[in-house]
Amino acid sequence: MSEELNVLAGNDDGMMARVRVCPHELSRRMAKILDDYGHKVSETRGEVVKRRIAAAVAELTEISLHNLGTS
């Protein structure tokens, strides 16, 4: 299993966000989508491919929020 990619960000008020994804699984899913459409696609079908890849990113990505600040 490949290592997960973690991206962290925060603000001055103590709000933190973490995005986590497995690059290997995302790459595998993207390759499958590209294989489904072959090597030549029209501009319209290209937009469909992009939407399917975006959906795969959303499906495979875990996003969490944490509030570290005090009120």
From first to last of the 71 residues of the chain, give the pLDDT tens digit. 569 999 999 999 999 999 999 999 999 999 999 999 888 888 889 999 999 999 999 999 999 999 987 65
Per domain, the residue ranges of the chain are 5-67
Separation CA 15–CA 61 (nearest Å): 19
pLDDT at 2: 62
Q: What is the pTM of this model?
A: 0.76
pLDDT at 71: 54
pLDDT at 40: 82
Separation CA 7–CA 11 (nearest Å): 14
Distances (CA, A) of 35 to 11, 16, 38, 70: 41, 37, 5, 50
